[in-house]
Amino acid sequence: MRGRNANSISVRDNSYTRGYQAYQNNARLCDFPAPEASNPGSAPGRHALQTFAKAARVTLHLTLGPVPARHRRHMKKVAVILSGCGVFDGAEIHESVLTLLALDQAGADIHCAAPNIPQAHVVNHLDGSTSESESRNVLQESARIARGAIADLAQLDPADFDAIALPGGFGAAKNLCGFAFDSESFEVDPTLADFLTKAHALGKPIAFACIAPAVAAKLFGPEGLRYTIGTDEGTATALSKWGGEHVSCPVDDIVVDAERKIVTTPAYMLAERISEAHAGLGKMVDALLALAD
């Protein structure tokens, strides 16, 4: 192990460094300001780290530590249905990750899934061009976001879950349904339609973000569903054909149809920054889990 001096810190002090950084990141949630310790390796820095590491330890435990076994029986089991990987031909990555993060922070037991079907097409996300020769699989692409921990949607039983969430991205309107190609007579992927209609019949709450509410409008609009895709009048008008009521909604808010247990938020239908999407998606997850109680 390297020796210490006034300008170095040993490997054993990494926990203090992490503690101090976590504390700084969450200082505004505390009743006292972070100390001046711009150089964690200095003697004053080490003293500050040792003094305030305990204050950050709870944050580290909640975000990184395992959930005690006695609490696991209370965790909500949530299926997150993805539609590929990438905003223009799959699941919107920011929305997917923010949804997964919010669920994890709420202590949910997360299970990613996707239909095992070909993508509608493949888009070069650098220049927006469509490849005429390349093909990809929705399940395989979704596995990128899920870090490989993902199931074929056809293999899942909605009765096994407490709630379901669908992030947006063009994949929701191209792969999960055909709204992006034919708004007048589109269909929902049969595997997804079967899963969601069964879940809905069982009273499972479902959340849809961004353009994913197009799926909700097609499946549940005839019941009088209240939902949002934000403020885009053209998209709202196209979806109105299937019934239901579109509600104009800002990026940082949600629409909750409590009777049907369906939550929607605009996300990147309106968001210009990831923080804007985060605000609405966080509320979406909170409402989803509340409906699952």
- Residues taking part in catalysis: 210
Instruction: List the beta bridge partners of residue 208.
Output: 166, 264
Alpha carbon 48 to its chain's center = 36
Instruction: Work out the angle between the directed axes of helices 190-201 and 213-220 (0-180°, nearest 10).
Output: 70
Q: Rounded distance, CA 100 to CA 225, Å?
A: 25
User: Which three-class secondary structure state does DSSP give residue 122?
Assistant: strand
Cα 150 to Cα 102: distance, rounded to the nearest angstrom: 18
Burial 110-144 (b: 16+ CB within 10 A, else e): bbbbbbbbebbbbbeeeeeeeeeeeebebbebbbb
Secondary structure of residue 177 in the 3-state scheme? strand
How far apart CA 126 and CA 105 sit, in angstroms, is 32
- What CA–CA distance (Å, rounded) separates 48 from 271? 39
> CA-CA distance, 137 to 170, in Å (whole number)?
15
- As beta bridge partners, residue 188 has 177
* Helices marked H in the chain: 14-25, 43-64, 69-72, 93-105, 138-145, 170-174, 190-201, 213-220, 233-239, 274-291
The neighbouring-strand residues paired with 131 are 122
